[in-house]
Amino acid sequence: MKIVIGKDAVMTGLQLVHGVVGARPTLPVLSNVLLQAQEDRLWLTTTDLEVTMRCAVEAKVAKAGATTLPAKRILSIMRELPADNIEIETDEKHSSSITCGSSFFKILGLSVDDFPPVPKYEGGHVFTLEQRVLKEMLQKTSYAASADETRYILNGTLMSFKANKLTMVATDGRRLALTEHELEFPKEAETDAIVPTKAVNELLRVLKDDGAVKVHLSKNQAGFEFDDVLLITKLIEGTYPNFRQVIPSQCDQRITVEREAFLIALKRVALLTSEKSSSIKLAFGKNKLKISASSPDVGEAHETVSIKYAGKEIAVAFNPDYVIEPLRNLANDEIYVELTDELSPGVIKCDVPFIYVLMPMRVS
Amino acid sequence: MRSPPESTVDRALASFQAALDGDRLAHAYLVVGSLRDEALPFAQGALARLFCRGVVRPCGDCPACRQVAERRHTDIVWIEPEKKSRVVGIDRIRDLQHVVYQTSFEGGWKAVVLVAADRVGEEASNAFLKTLEEPPPRCLFLLLTDAPQAVMATIKSRCQRIVLSSEPDVLPDPWRERLLAILADPGPQGLTGALLRSTRLDKLLSELRESVAEAEKAAVADDDEVSDETLLARIEARYRGMRSMVVRGILLWYRDLLMCVSGGGADCLRYPEREAELRRAAEALNHADAFRNLQIVEGMQRQFDRNMPADTVIQGAFGQLNG
């Protein structure tokens, strides 16, 4: 393989794919990026066997071929090279010479044959939507996924393509985030897939605001194809819990709150929570919300926020992070907090199809 | 490397193939036998049959067969004891759960091979138990061990057992003969005798380690891919296996002493060729002493498992043993 490639192009490609490379790869070749040069393109691929990321960048290909090189080291080298054309030449022993101006590196690679083949998604269905929509849906839900590895089924985000809607759900058992988007697809394409959190995080990193993304869903894999990028991920096996049954059908009180002011006040008051006392109290009164936190060994804080509310007074305690996260990931000016009493689940909604259910904390 | 006793491993593989063909595979097997000569060849053979894409399985030629043989198949996780303590830690079990509960890379089976299943720590065993209790479909667990008695009972109860060797813990010669020479030698009585015996046994273990190291180094002499760290880990694992056989050898000696104290004949003895020495040593023992000796030797293995220094374990045990 022999190519000449611009620094910007190779950096774009490496920065896209290097996040997949794990800290403790199970096979030596998984530390490497697969480079394949053909028809004025350089394809870069990385995998940790859970997520596979592949992208193409422009390059002048003098001799087509392929090799694998240590991903992190190559990225470090490319980052330090001057902004110029870089020549990469690989010999039969997988040793690559990198030349840029007067800089020269010889890097030992591993055989292309050792690199796992890019998974093929045979059969399955393809759904097309805007990248911006997919990214926003993931942003609004993925933070609620469980990180507890004993609850493996919750270690990802559910993508449910049903009734001409894409429903995205994540939950850790204490809170649940759900968002929906209208999407046309045939009835036989209805399917569910639980996408692992690592793949979701990579998608959030690489999805752009313009252009479409094709979502390929098969029994074993999900593929996300956009621009010159392909991300393929394994899925979490099993049936996602029936999330509809935890969403309260009706709450007694609905309170309109200005999101930004609520978020800032929450962040401030939450500074006074501690490991022993990790809850904040929200006291909803006539047109005002009092947010307070008290830790016996730290101190206390409270702040009042104006709201639109004329109902009965309700005081309820929540984990502050569980309230802050949806507010941080929404863009609406106003949100609606729905409550029944201090022990029933609270609900956060807004003027887009989004529902967030969170369990209150019982405090003395 | 000794060739495996073909008949046992081959018979087990034939049964495995029949279960696979009949869609009757258990989700987990506890494979009992010498790790190197029986359990590992069985695991390689079983996995080749499971993942082979050839017409006659295993063809030995397809990419899957080659990947299984080279331990680089993307849907197989190999877990071996790590670090100096030679224990499988909780982190490795957590990593494993990712693989188990996600779809396979190639769309077919997934497999987990736990080499030396007896070396899984307590916390890790409990985490692993959860995985074994709720196995996803088309996921095979192979737990390999040469010391099934050290595997947690709740794990064993969830596995189908494949016994490849009826005597997985028999110490090979010349070590067996040397051990018996130490045990059978009456030597001086009291503390001096105990110190002499423990020094001789400590020396035997040191030489055993050197012998294992030489054999392992020779086995990988032509393999550039085996790192120094891997080689050291293999030496340590093999040595620990051999050391367990030594402890079992000592245990059998004191079992024979108990038999002699109880009036058992030569047909009850595991070391009938040493009957004369055994009966001589038994003359000075009563039942209680003979029982206590067995408990002391069992304690030795537990102390070794807790990574106590060999000389401390041996001196402590021989200071208390009678006969």
The CATH code of the domain that includes B94 is 3.40.50.300
More confident residue, A239 or B36: A239
Q: Is residue A26 part of a domain?
A: yes
CA distances from B298 to A190, A283, B301, B303 (A): 61, 64, 6, 9
Shortest CA gap A147–chain B (Å): 12
- Calpha distance A339→A289 (Å, rounded): 13
Q: Is residue A200 part of a domain?
A: yes
Q: Read off the pLDDT of each residue in A213-228 and give the average, rounded to a whole number.
A: 93
- Calpha distance B63→B54 (Å, rounded): 10
Q: Is residue B96 part of a domain?
A: yes
Q: Final residue of a domain: which of A197, A216, A244?
A: A244
Q: Residues of A with CB below 8 A from B95's CB?
A: 24
Report which DSSP code applies to B225.
T
Do A42 and A67 fall into the same domain? yes
CB A70 within 8 A of CB A31: yes
Mark yes or no for CB contact A152/B101 under 8 Å: yes
In this structure, which amino acid lies at residue B150? A
Q: Is residue B65 part of a domain?
A: yes
Shortest CA gap B189–chain A (Å): 55
- Calpha distance B136→B130 (Å, rounded): 12
What's the count of helices (H) and strands (E) in chain A, helices before strands?
A: 6, 25
Beta bridge partners of B139: B110
Mark yes or no for CB contact B105/A119 under 8 Å: yes
Total number of domains in chain A: 3
Q: Residues of B with CB below 8 A from A116's CB?
A: 74, 105
**Chain A residue nearest residue B137, CA to CA:** A237
CB B50 within 8 A of CB B111: yes
Mark yes or no for CB contact B102/A196 under 8 Å: yes
CB A232 within 8 A of CB B106: no
- Is pLDDT at B1 greater than 50 in this prediction? no
- Is pLDDT at B95 greater than 90 in this prediction? no
A270, A271, A276, A280: CA torsion to nearest 10: -20
Mark yes or no for CB contact B74/A49 under 8 Å: yes
Do A139 and A236 fall into the same domain? yes
- Calpha distance B252→B105 (Å, rounded): 48
Q: Is residue A119 part of a domain?
A: no
Do A81 and A131 fall into the same domain? no
pLDDT tens-digit series, residues B53-86: 888 888 988 988 998 998 888 899 999 887 656 6
Looking up residue A310, the CATH number of its domain turns out to be 3.10.150.10
pLDDT at A236: 94
Do B219 and B263 fall into the same domain? yes
- Calpha distance A220→A191 (Å, rounded): 12
Centre a 10 Å sphere on the Cβ of residue A206 and count the other Cβ atoms it contains.
20
Q: Is residue B113 part of a domain?
A: yes
Q: Final residue of a domain: which of B131, B163, B195?
A: B163
Do B50 and B135 fall into the same domain? yes
Q: Final residue of a domain: which of B129, B163, B197?
A: B163
Mean pLDDT of chain A: 93
In this structure, which amino acid lies at residue B73? H
Q: Final residue of a domain: which of B163, B184, B201?
A: B163
Total number of domains in chain B: 2
Beta bridge partners of A280: A318
Do B14 and B158 fall into the same domain? yes
- Calpha distance A26→A357 (Å, rounded): 38
Give the DSSP H or E segment for B76: strand B76-79
- ∠ CA B312-B315-B321 to the nearest 5 degrees? 135
Q: Which domain holds residue A299?
A: 247-358
Do A130 and A238 fall into the same domain? yes
Minimal CA–CA distance to A59: which of A129, A114, A12? A12
Do A77 and A103 fall into the same domain? yes
- Calpha distance A292→A272 (Å, rounded): 9
Do the bridges between strand A191-196 and strand A2-6 make them parallel or antiparallel, or are there none, so unpaired?
A: unpaired
pLDDT tens-digit series, residues A292-331: 999 888 899 999 999 989 889 999 999 999 999 999 999 9
CB A55 within 8 A of CB A229: yes
CA B203 to chain centre: 22
Q: For B250, list phi and psi in degrees, rounded to 5.
A: -65, -40
Q: Is residue B185 part of a domain?
A: yes
Do A100 and A7 fall into the same domain? yes
CA distances from B28 to B33, B66, B105, B143, B163 (A): 16, 23, 20, 7, 14
pLDDT tens-digit series, residues B247-266: 888 888 888 888 888 887 77
**Which pTM does this prediction carry?**
0.75
pLDDT at A364: 62
pLDDT at B2: 46
Do B34 and B179 fall into the same domain? no
Q: For A63, list phi and psi in degrees, rounded to 5.
A: -145, 115
Do B108 and B22 fall into the same domain? yes
Do B12 and B159 fall into the same domain? yes
- Is pLDDT at A104 greater than 80 in this prediction? yes
- Pick from B101, B106, B132 the residue to mutate for testing the A interface (most A CBs within 10 Å): B101
Q: Residues of B with CB below 8 A from A223's CB?
A: none
Do the bridges between strand B28-32 and strand B139-145 make them parallel or antiparallel, or are there none, so unpaired?
A: parallel
Q: Is residue B84 part of a domain?
A: yes
pLDDT tens-digit series, residues A232-286: 999 999 899 999 999 998 888 999 999 999 999 999 999 998 888 889 999 999 9
3-class SS shares of chain A: helix, strand, coil, % to 5:
25, 45, 30
Do B193 and B118 fall into the same domain? no
Q: Residues of A with CB below 8 A from B79's CB?
A: none
- Calpha distance A323→A337 (Å, rounded): 10
- Calpha distance A64→A46 (Å, rounded): 19
Do B194 and B144 fall into the same domain? no
Q: Is residue B3 part of a domain?
A: no
Q: Which domain holds residue B79?
A: 8-163
Is the CB of residue A196 less than 8 Å away from at least one CB of chain B? yes
pLDDT at B5: 47
Q: Show the tokens assigned to B75.
A: 């849907």
Give the A:B interface size as CB pairs under 8 Å.
51
Do A236 and A137 fall into the same domain? yes
Do B100 and B138 fall into the same domain? yes
In three-state secondary structure terms, A312 is coil
| Residue A251, CB-side half-sphere exposure with 13 Å CA sphere | 25
Find the range with the poorest average confidence among A144-153, A187-196, B172-181.
B172-181
Is the CB of residue A116 less than 8 Å away from at least one CB of chain B? yes
pLDDT at A216: 95
pLDDT at A79: 93
Q: Read off the pLDDT of each residue in A113-133 and give the average, rounded to a whole number.
A: 88
Find the range with the poorest average confidence among A72-81, B11-20, B25-34, B287-296.
B287-296
In three-state secondary structure terms, A190 is coil
Do A231 and A252 fall into the same domain? no
| Residue A109, CB-side half-sphere exposure with 13 Å CA sphere | 29
